[in-house]
Amino acid sequence: MTRNFFVICCSGQHRWRAVLLIVWAAVCILVQCMRPAFSEVRIKDITDIQGIRDNQLIGYGLVVGLRGTGDSLNNSIFTRQSLIGMLERLGVNTQNQAQNLQTKDIAAVMVTANLPAFAHSGETIDVTVSAMGDATDLTGGTLLVTPLLGADGRVYAVAQGSLVTGAIQAAGANASFTQGVPTVGRITNGAIVERSVSFKLASEKTPKLELRNPDFTTAMRISRVIDERLGPGIATVDDPRTITLDLKGRNVVSDLAEIEDLRVQPSTPAVVVVDEATGTIVMGANVRISTVAIDEGNITVTVKNTPVVSQPNPLAGGTTVATSQTSISVKKDRGKKMDIVHGNISLQQLVSSLNSLGVAPHDMISILQAIKAAGALQARLVVQ
């Protein structure tokens, strides 16, 4: 049998030095493999560049081509006036016959859209169309030319096109079924940008990064990573949300592209979010509790109504009356023995300790609130 060996042809001190180098390299590789890859995120995923944002647009228009599911002109006066005004602009005089307009195939709508940053003239954006009057369904309708205005009253886009609601309706003699909202539709690429919002990023001498979740620790970590890559004094933390970049005359676009790919480990606060309506509990990774003893029991209340007939005496002249007798019983189920949840445990251990009590999510919400009231929950409790 042939065997292959790796031989280190060294002797004495050089041999031990080679062995130590190999061991050190193995340890470094092992530490790198054990390091959680998800602990660090890109700066672009947790920050925004100040000044780069969407702008909201709004407009008023008409949807035509509905199958008798539009506005009632007698109830929706604004729809009637808009229809008359549109026909007059197209050369059709209906002033003398305004009261005779009885169509149900038209609806007044509000059109909304978001104008992205750096959108230029000629690009298209999506729009949302919502009914204003008593229209019951906008499916299959067509939005007529509608100017979309910004907060400054200027026209930034013009919308037009066929609506898609995605709603399903079915009706029978005595029942009906509706899935979705048929009075709200969407037009993909339904608006053409006419004017862009002026913002010259390349001319910014000190751009600012804004954290989506303000935190001093995360801001300082971002500042240190940027200074290590681009040089000291580049990033300055102004507050938990804002980091100012002094690029010292460098190319803003290329530097921001390099900064966005840098990775940091964000620091998250200890928060417990509770939704009482759905029984949902979400805990952060840094949630800790002090040592506390917990006991949980269930109380069942039963209310029973028993019908009783009250019969009067033969000579009393009264009437027979049917009444009910109510009885209430309270049963307290025996829970488990009191459990002790030790302090300074991890999130997984905390969840396991609470699950060991065998309680439902809604009962667990009450337990968390009681732990917070006792001062043992070292986290912020948010109840929605």
Is 128 a residue whose pLDDT tops 80? Answer: yes
Determine the 3-state secondary structure of 183 from DSSP.
Answer: coil
Question: Would you state the pLDDT for residue 193?
Answer: 96
CA angle, 56 then 57 then 58, to 5°: 130
Question: Would you state the pLDDT for residue 300?
Answer: 47
Question: Would you state the pLDDT for residue 278?
Answer: 80
Residue 355: DSSP 8-state: H
Q: Which residues pair with 108 in a beta bridge?
A: 62
Q: What is the mean pLDDT of residues 143-148?
A: 96
Instruction: Give per-residue pLDDT as tens, 76-93.
Output: 889 988 998 898 888 888
Sorting pLDDT into bands at 50, 70 and 90, what band is 299? Answer: very low
Q: What is the mean pLDDT of residues 232-256?
A: 91
Instruction: Give per-residue pLDDT as tens, 9-42.
Output: 444 555 666 656 665 666 555 545 444 444 789 9
pLDDT: which is higher, 176 or 150: 150
Is 61 a residue whose pLDDT tops 90? Answer: yes
Question: Would you state the pLDDT for residue 347?
Answer: 57
Residue 206: DSSP 8-state: S
Instruction: Give per-residue pLDDT as tens, 332-359.
Output: 555 555 556 566 666 566 667 667 666 6
Instruction: Give per-residue pLDDT as tens, 92-114.
Output: 887 777 677 788 999 999 999 99
Closest to 109 in 3D by CA, of 165, 164, 63: 63
For the chain, give the percent of residues with pLDDT over 90: 40
Q: What is the mean pLDDT of residues 234-253?
A: 91
Spatial separation of the C-alpha atoms in residues 292 and 374, rounded to whole Å:
9
Is 374 a residue whose pLDDT tops 70? Answer: yes
Sorting pLDDT into bands at 50, 70 and 90, what band is 48? Answer: very high
Residue 52: DSSP 8-state: -
Closest to 79 in 3D by CA, of 111, 108, 109: 108
Question: Would you state the pLDDT for residue 76?
Answer: 87
Sorting pLDDT into bands at 50, 70 and 90, what band is 319? Answer: low
Question: Would you state the pLDDT for residue 247?
Answer: 87
Question: Would you state the pLDDT for residue 55?
Answer: 94
Residue with tokens 């002797």: 11
Spatial separation of the C-alpha atoms in residues 236 and 223, rounded to whole Å:
6
Q: What is the mean pLDDT of residues 127-144?
A: 94
For the chain, what is the mean pLDDT? 80
Question: Would you state the pLDDT for residue 304?
Answer: 55
Question: Would you state the pLDDT for residue 39?
Answer: 75
Question: Would you state the pLDDT for residue 208?
Answer: 94
Q: What is the mean pLDDT of residues 316-342?
A: 56
Question: Would you state the pLDDT for residue 36?
Answer: 46
Is 75 a residue whose pLDDT tops 50? Answer: yes
Q: Which residues pair with 275 in a beta bridge?
A: 280
Question: Would you state the pLDDT for residue 37?
Answer: 44
Instruction: Give per-residue pLDDT as tens, 115-125.
Output: 999 999 999 99
**CB–CB of 66/105 below 8 Å?**
yes
